[in-house]
Amino acid sequence: MNKIENDKVSHHLMAKKLTLFSFFTWFWMLNALNVKAQDPNFHIYLCIGQSNMEGNANFEPQDTSGINARFKVLQAVDCDNKGRQMGKWYTAIPPLTRCNTGLTPVDYFGRTLVDNLPKKVRVGAIVVAVGGSKIELFDKNNYGSYTATAPDWMKGMLKAYQDNPYGRLITMAKIAQKDGIIKGILIHQGESNTGDKLWPQKVKDVYNNILNDLNLKPNEVPLLAGEVVHKAQNGKCASMNEIIDKLPQTVPTAHVVSSEGCGVADDLLHFNIAGYRELGKRYAEVMLPLLKKKSKSK
């Protein structure tokens, strides 16, 4: 091989090395930017369920003022009447679920968290809930058969999520993951599944699907499940609490939030405004020790 050929080979090898170097430099910079964009002190919570998660009581003036800007909601639907766009963060002024829903336990869950966490920590919530729905609505593989037979009064709510609330939840969660870290999943559901002994397994399937679709680890993302209106308040679906209370036997990372003593609406199915405030605080009181425990382990 003569000198000219040697020079050509050397030049070719150098060009390949420069190309690889450029690629890895670009790849490293891209990852560095992503890491920088994702704030570990922005705690995200995914919230699903039926009407008591959606928010059945009309909020009052005290519920819409003085809200800490560290508590955010990622809008899951477009709300022209509120000047909010789907997929964008806003200070968590109710309604948090859809454009005309009421106060949800998530309102006082988030407020209680920011009041008890370091000031560097922000809290974000994504709320996807449909009144009257069974847990089957959040079955990613079979939700279509449920929505196809949904009653007329539910169709408008389903349409807001393009008939796929689970899909909307995952889409919003992936947006949120660019900004912060998912720390937990909240569920309040069960009235429409009263007496269904398979409910814990169905919830486990939904929980596992969320974890898998978002690349989350169960020991890092606990599941908080709230009881329905308690028997002490003559709840019409109170028998369901016996099933809800057994959820940790099926989902080891699940924690049950008691509803005993929370204020109740006249229909004995929903909580009243005071009940939602109290239940939200109780969700937070369950979550706060879990966060402290995780912080100490790290």
pLDDT recorded at residue 293: 82
Give the HSE-up count for residue 12: Cα atoms under 13 Å, Cβ half-sphere: 6
Against a cut of 0.95, is the pTM above it? no
pLDDT recorded at residue 9: 47
Is 179 a known active-site residue?
no
Rounded Cα–Cα distance for residues 232 and 129 (Å):
26
pLDDT recorded at residue 34: 45
Which of the residues 51, 133, 192, 259 is marked catalytic? 51
Which of the residues 80, 152, 266, 267 is marked catalytic? 267
Does residue 61 have a cis bond before it (omega within 30 degrees)?
A: no
Q: Quick one: how many helices (H) and strands (E) in the chain?
A: 10, 7
Is 239 a known active-site residue?
no
Is 295 a known active-site residue?
no
Tokens 């308690």 locate to: 230
The pLDDT tens digits of the residues spanning 165-224 come to 999 999 999 999 999 999 999 999 999 999 999 999 999 999 999 999 999 999 999 999
Across the chain, mean pLDDT equals 91
- Confidence band (pLDDT; 50, 70, 90) for 32? very low
Which of the residues 107, 188, 192, 270 is marked catalytic? 270
Question: What percentage of the chain has pLDDT greater than the value 90?
Answer: 85
| pLDDT average, residue stretch 39-53 | 98
Rounded Cα–Cα distance for residues 177 and 64 (Å):
27
Checking if the pLDDT of 20 tops 70, the result is no
